[in-house]
Structure 1
Amino acid sequence: MQEAAYAAQCTAEEKRHNPVAAARPGKGRALLALALGTFAIGTGEFGTNGIIELYAEELGATLPYATWAVTAYALGVMIGSPIITIVGARVNRKRLLLGLIVLFLIGNVLSAAAGSMEMLIAARFLTGTVQGAYFGAGAVVAAYIYGPGRGGQAFATVMTGLTVATIFGAPAGTFIGQVFGWEWLYLVVAAIGLAAGLALLAWVPSTRDLDGGSVTDELRALAKPLVWAMVAIAALGISSIFAVYTFIAPIVTDAADASPSVIPIALAVFGIGMAVGNEVGGRLADRYPTRGLVLGYVLVSGFLVIVGFGGGWLPTLFVGLFGVGASAMMAIPTIQVLLTRFAPDAPTLVGSLNLAALNAANALGAIGGAVTISAGFGVLATSWAGLVLVACGLLVFAATIPRALRTGRTSGP
């Protein structure tokens, strides 16, 4: 009964913001354009990890200093994206997406042209400011195209490009960087971004229904405790992915005693799991208030245990990697739907905050895994760090969200 009431309430809320009850005609091309943009973003983000040694050598930087290009990108997402979203609050969502693509092109061209480590760091920060704002605006456009009651699937569609980037884009981009030079990764990513921009221009409808809202409404979302509770829940729970993903290479070679040639296969298995979980999570988010998040976090806990105990045997490791990626990603569409429910007048900002939380999760997972390795517990112990983090996310969830949903006080201060 509670779940049926939730679905009815969500449909009513969405109809007030989007009176058209059916999916838009020609939606496939518009959704493809949105996903192509996130594919370009994800390829540039994850591909950078594969070329660190290349640009470090050419720019005369130590490896630790070179990683600041990755960190700067994450900081751009966490700091810059919410600011851009607030500044562009009144801008039509299609125009905002096109403006973000232009900024994305500039950031990647500057990255390719960087003649020093400092310039590359600055260019990656600039490029990172696009990500959260693009996902937030893209989620609004996708929800408009899908029609009411399908906000979870809408966000999952926008996320699809990112998950595909982990399977194909990042490995291909890394290969291009290795063969032709690291600069070419960013030039290729810029070309994909340009194609996405042209597709957005041609295929996303130009309509006043996608006009922005009040800056005050966007800022008001920042004063809502439930919004920040969801950000914390996302950052803690999704960090379980990165506690394992960050160290997947040494897990494969050291713990499972496999050849380095197996690493790309392991990355692909992880990415396929993320894509499957994203699709399932989108459908769950539109039908149930919290099931996608709770089920995802509980399942990821189990798969982390499988990695921790059985990761020394390659078949078991692959099962664990697939499961960690799938179950953690299952939670993300529900996180977006709940964020939008808690701040219905600021859907773009909460989408940006969701991506900021995921980048915070990246840092938390990497730090947690590094701490366990530094303590001498071995690379498989990174899964126990992920288990602790996702347990903390479940605790924060249990202490805040169910009561708010029961009492109906979800959109107040």
Structure 2
Amino acid sequence: MHESGKTPVKVVANQAPQAHGGHLKRRPIPRQTEISEVRRYIVMTALALGGFAIGVTEFVSMGLLSAIASDFAISEDQAGLIITIYAMGVVVGAPLITAFTGKLPRRRLLLILMAFFVVGNALSTLNASYEVLLLARFIAGLPHGAYFSVAGLAAASMAPTGQRGRAIAYVGMGLSVGTVAGVPAAQALGDAFGWAIAYVLVTVLGVMTLLALWFLMPHMTEMKPTSPLTELGALKNSQVWLTLGIGSIGFGGMFAVYTYISWTMTSQAGMPSSLIWIVLMAYGVGMIVGNYVGGRLADWNVDRGILLALVCIVIALSCFYFSSNNAILGTINFGLIGFFGSTLIPSLQIRLMDVAGRAQTLAASLNQSALNIGNALGAAIGGVVIGAGFSYSTPALAGAGLAFLAILVWFPMVKLRK
């Protein structure tokens, strides 16, 4: 059976393995149109597990920098390159992989991407040298954007009519849960047994995902193959670029605050540093709930869902400028920032699928690159604001300004499409 659109031989999805010539035949893999609703949710859960593992490996490195710097006798700045090199892997890998793997069956591509993820994180556990760790983090980052792109499109392809947003949000939930539950667990293991153990946990999660997809993922026969030229055709589409612009600008506002939240809450709100985990937990919970609500908004109305999320981000960031002087109000407000930021993502993903034609995979992966550019943009602008002598609360206003710029992009984007 193949996903190229050729008529496959019909198989029975729940057929048991049979003996043949003294060997056990492998259970046939069903097509996506043959699986039950329960099987569909199990497959989406397996895809979400991969997102969980990616979320852990992306964010836990930030808390391990001191230990890594100490082990390799390097400065904190040098250790910080580990974060940068991973992000470079995401930005480079997402468009390149998706543009040139259009002819690969989607099931096979997901398995290859998760295998690369496992290799990158397994190399990260070696503790051989600083240079090896940098290479390992780059390899681990390469499949990040492409995995979320293909996994999201696969979930949308399996979803019933009118439920694409919810399906994408369900798979994306893995990343949000990973930041809330997985990162603290990996951080605790790294603190107790050495930083390399955190990457051991991520490697195990990657292997679990690989096995789950191998046994559960159906053949994605409704996802037709494409050529590099077809995928690269997305780059000629102004609607794709405008949507990506909204993602990188609007999402960047949150990271103008997130990057400096520890200093903000300790210096401005007087919160003990030992309680910062509560603030980060509030943000993570906000992301989980916002991801769910964002899926519903996308299924309701994609363009209006984007506008509503952006307006709410502007309000939440503006309010944080004032609430960040109080520990309780600031924590609640920070959770709302995570909530509204996450509501934006499913609508952006669905919109890119709708406007990109047959180049959906590249367009969806570029969304991951755009969000990572937004992370870097927000952090850089927040740093400039603080470096200019303003308070740690002020980056919130800069972030609100970025989200407002994204609103200004929204109006011509919608008008030009019509």
Global fold match (TM > 0.5): yes
Match of 2:366 among 319, 330, 353: 353
1:105 aligns with 2:132: no
Q: In the TM superposition, what are the counterparts of 1:193-204 in structure 2 within 5 Å?
A: 193-204=206-217
Structure 1 distance, partners of 2:340, 2:34, is 31
Any idea what the Cα deviations from partners look like across 1:270-313, whole Å, max 9, x if unmatched? 01111111111111111213122111111111111221012111
Give the helix-richer structure, 1 or 2. 1
Any idea what the Cα deviations from partners look like across 1:308-357, whole Å, max 9, x if unmatched? 01211112102211111111111111111111111021222122111111
Match of 2:250 among 237, 254, 258: 237
Tell me which moved more, 36-45 or 382-391.
382-391
**For residue 403 of structure 1, what is the amino acid of its counterpart?**
K
User: Percent same amino acid at aligned positions?
Assistant: 36
Report the secondary structure of 1:208's partner residue: coil
Match of 1:221 among 228, 234, 242: 234
Structure 1 distance, partners of 2:226, 2:238, is 21
Structure 2 distance, partners of 1:211, 1:388, is 41
Tell me which moved more, 242-251 or 128-137.
242-251
Deviation at 1:114, TM superposition (A): 4.1
Equivalent in the alignment of 1:7? none
Structure 1 distance, partners of 2:305, 2:193, is 42
Report the secondary structure of 1:149's partner residue: coil
Q: Quote the RMSD (CA, aligned, Å).
A: 1.8
Equivalent in the alignment of 2:6? none
1:93 aligns with 2:94: no
Mapped contact 1:163–1:275 kept (Cα < 8 A): yes
Match of 2:348 among 335, 352, 357: 335
Equivalent in the alignment of 2:417? 405
1:79 aligns with 2:92: yes
Tell me which moved more, 347-356 or 19-28.
19-28
Equivalent in the alignment of 1:279? 292
Mapped contact 2:231–2:362 kept (Cα < 8 A): yes
Deviation at 1:211, TM superposition (A): 4.8
Q: In the TM superposition, what are the counterparts of 1:8-407 in structure 2 within 5 Å?
A: 24-399=37-412, 401-406=413-418
Structure 2 distance, partners of 1:165, 1:262, is 20
Deviation at 1:255, TM superposition (A): 1.1
Aligned pairs, number? 388
Any idea what the Cα deviations from partners look like across 1:87-131, whole Å, max 9, x if unmatched? 211111111010011100110011111422222222111111111
**For residue 336 of structure 1, what is the amino acid of its counterpart?**
Q
**For residue 49 of structure 1, what is the amino acid of its counterpart?**
M
**For residue 248 of structure 1, what is the amino acid of its counterpart?**
I
Deviation at 1:42, TM superposition (A): 0.5
Mapped contact 2:239–2:417 kept (Cα < 8 A): no
Any idea what the Cα deviations from partners look like across 1:354-401, whole Å, max 9, x if unmatched? 1111111110111111111111111111211211211121112223x2
Any idea what the Cα deviations from partners look like across 1:48-69, whole Å, max 9, x if unmatched? 1110111111112111111111
Structure 2 distance, partners of 1:22, 1:402, is 37
Deviation at 1:22, TM superposition (A): 10
Q: 1:207 to 1:292 in 2, by over 3 A?
A: closer
Structure 2 distance, partners of 1:305, 1:22, is 47
Structure 2 distance, partners of 1:159, 1:212, is 24
**For residue 416 of structure 2, what is the amino acid of its counterpart?**
A
Mapped contact 2:32–2:221 kept (Cα < 8 A): no
Structure 2 distance, partners of 1:207, 1:405, is 30
Report the secondary structure of 1:115's partner residue: coil
Q: 1:181 to 1:96 in 2, by over 3 A?
A: same
Structure 2 distance, partners of 1:321, 1:155, is 24
Mapped contact 1:85–1:348 kept (Cα < 8 A): yes
**For residue 155 of structure 1, what is the amino acid of its counterpart?**
I
- In structure 2, runs of 5+ residues without a counterpart are 1-30
Equivalent in the alignment of 2:11? none
Deviation at 1:145, TM superposition (A): 2.1
Mapped contact 1:21–1:148 kept (Cα < 8 A): no
Structure 2 distance, partners of 1:92, 1:157, is 22
Report the secondary structure of 1:209's partner residue: coil
Deviation at 1:208, TM superposition (A): 2.8
Mapped contact 1:277–1:329 kept (Cα < 8 A): yes
Report the secondary structure of 2:102's partner residue: coil
Structure 1 distance, partners of 2:325, 2:403, is 22
Mapped contact 2:318–2:396 kept (Cα < 8 A): yes
Structure 2 distance, partners of 1:86, 1:92, is 14
**For residue 62 of structure 1, what is the amino acid of its counterpart?**
S
